[in-house]
Amino acid sequence: MQDSNLARDAQSAHWRETYRLNPDMYGIDPSEAGRAAIETFMSLGLRNVLELGAGQGRDTLAFLQAGLRVTALDYSADALAAIDDKAAQLGRDEQLHTIVHDVRLALPLEDSSVDAAYSHMLFNMALTKVELTFLANEVRRVLRPGGIHIYTVRHVGDAHFGQGIPRGEQMWENGGFIVHFFSSETVRDLSEGFSQAEVAAFEEGTLPRKLWRITQQKL
């Protein structure tokens, strides 16, 4: 268990080095989930979005170009600096606020201060069930009443589930990355204070990764 805790704590440095060595490792086009989120936010008139785990910003920039205002959080200062630069090149920097943050800590936003929250595989990070519950509660806290939470996760039907090094609590390490794979029970357990989850299955990448896009409304 101690080895797993140390491995999880080392993930921040691993991601920072990965971003440094592989600029735009996920490409520059928005993800399928990001495009779907834009459609949802625009159709509901939501304009102020919190993005958790913005990474290299492929969805962040798409949000900005759609006219949304984005508060982007990530624990890599270098990744956020790159997003700031790209937003400035697009003339969209006034719509963007970036914050270096570890999501295991309270979100640095006021209660009921954003229209929507979005993350792409952030909930799959090396977070324990206790940490995930805390994060879900924090998302609910900062959302306005009726606000929308969209997040994506790799699930237990993914080819990497059960493969590699076990790290406890449905977490497995492959290629240096620890993934917390979600079951339907995990989704349900994180839904307190939200409407029943709308779950859409999709695939991404060459494995392919098998994911769920989860959409909920704050009650």
Confidence (pLDDT) at 76: 86
Confidence (pLDDT) at 130: 96
Q: Give, for all 219 residues of the chain, the pLDDT tens digit.
A: 555 565 666 666 666 666 666 766 566 799 999 999 999 999 999 999 999 999 989 999 999 999 999 999 998 888 899 999 999 999 999 999 999 999 999 999 999 999 999 999 999 999 999 999 999 999 999 999 999 999 999 999 999 999 999 999 999 999 888 999 999 999 999 999 999 999 999 999 988 999 999 999 999
Confidence (pLDDT) at 5: 61
106-56-111 Cα angle (round to 5): 25
| Radius of gyration of the chain from its Cα atoms, rounded to whole angstroms | 16
Confidence (pLDDT) at 53: 95
Residue 197, C-beta contacts closer than 8 angstroms, at least 6 positions apart = 187, 188, 191, 214, 215, 216
Kind plus residue range of the DSSP H or E element containing 32: helix 32-43
Amino acid at 86: K
Confidence (pLDDT) at 24: 64
Q: Where are the alpha helices (DSSP H) in 31-178?
A: 32-43, 58-65, 77-89, 129-142
pLDDT per residue over 74-131, tens digit each? Answer: 988 888 999 999 999 999 999 999 999 999 999 999 999 999 999 999 999 999 999 9
Residue among 14, 5, 4 nearest 166 (CA): 4
Across 1-86, the runs of DSSP E, i.e. the strands, are 48-52, 69-74
Beta partners for 195? none
Residue among 124, 96, 139, 138 nearest 33 (CA): 124
- At residue 94, the 3 state secondary structure works out as helix
Residue entry with tokens 């936010």: 41
Whole-prediction pTM: 0.90
